[in-house]
Amino acid sequence: MLDDGRRELLDWTKRFQIISGIARGLIYLHHDSRLRIIHRDLKTSNILLDHDMNPKISDFGLARIFGGDQTVANTRRVMGTHGYISPEYAMHGSFSMKSDVFSFGVIILEVVSGMKNRELPISHQFLNLLGHAWELWSKEMAMELVDKSLGDSIMEVQVLRCIQIGLLCVQERPENRPNMSSVIHMLNGDKSLPKPRQPAFYPHQESSSSTKNCEICSNNDISITLLEAR
């Protein structure tokens, strides 16, 4: 966790700026770039901040380029970071733009809460942040998810909207997740959002059978609370 001085650099306005900037970066990769790029390892440690706290997506070592009308690809070697990879990728080696959307949803919930997805207290009843966020949202207690250090900088309507968008992005089935164009409209709009379904839990459970025929090649998951300007 950050000390109080460093936390003050990431008030709610800055955090929303980071969320929106990452979304715009993914729009470029998925839709506006000459070649469609799937990052495959989107996580907070791969988001760099400049002096104005503008986010830059980095580390394209695992990225794949889709050509023509290609929307989905498959691999027998799953490469990514526990806590951020989508369930269809972890289980079946199937990845698409919706895989990056899932990772983005995890990042949103980490930015809002200041917690790492897979490092809730041992005494906590949930294995991960996704389950915790879902339970609070289902009980209409979503504001309890918010990082207490944000204090009076919170814009409650905007925060709740981000939590709901995060939950929409981490739904288990890829076809139920929004694309990044829709996410941008959701972040900047005021229309009501669809209700999310229960999020995927699978990729965050420690099960020897869960990664059968797959090799997870990275375990480096770092929360948004560790982001620093560079």
For 137-169, the three-class secondary structure string (H helix, E strand, C coil) is HHCCCHHHHCCHHHHHHCCHHHHHHHHHHHHHH
pLDDT higher than threshold 80 for residue 192 = yes
pLDDT higher than threshold 70 for residue 217 = no
Q: Of 11, 32, 41, 52, which residue is the catalytic one?
A: 41
Residue 119, pLDDT score: 72
Q: pTM, whole model, 2 decimals?
A: 0.85
For the segment 45-62, what is each residue's pLDDT rounded down to a tens digit? 999 999 888 999 999 999
Residue 15, pLDDT score: 96
Q: What is the mean pLDDT of residues 75-97?
A: 93
For the segment 113-169, what is each residue's pLDDT rounded down to a tens digit? 999 887 776 555 666 899 999 999 999 999 999 999 999 889 999 999 999 999 999
Residue 8, pLDDT score: 63
- CATH number of the domain at 181, please: 1.10.510.10
φ/ψ of residue 19, rounded to 5: -60, -50
The total number of structural domains in the chain stands at 1
Q: What pLDDT band is residue 214 in, cutting at 50, 70 and 90? A: very low
Using CA atoms, how far residue 71 sits from 67, 86, 110, in Å, is 9, 15, 28
Q: How many Cβ atoms from other residues are within 10 Å of residue 91's Cβ?
A: 18
pLDDT higher than threshold 70 for residue 110 = yes
Mean pLDDT of the chain: 84
Residue 69, pLDDT score: 85
pLDDT higher than threshold 60 for residue 4 = no
CA distance 119 to 129: 8
Residue 197, pLDDT score: 93
**Does residue 4 carry a catalytic annotation?**
no
Q: What is the mean pLDDT of residues 15-19?
A: 97
The one-letter amino acid code at 164 reads Q
For the segment 23-32, what is each residue's pLDDT rounded down to a tens digit? 999 999 999 9
Host domain of residue 22: 4-226
Beta bridge partners of 57: 47
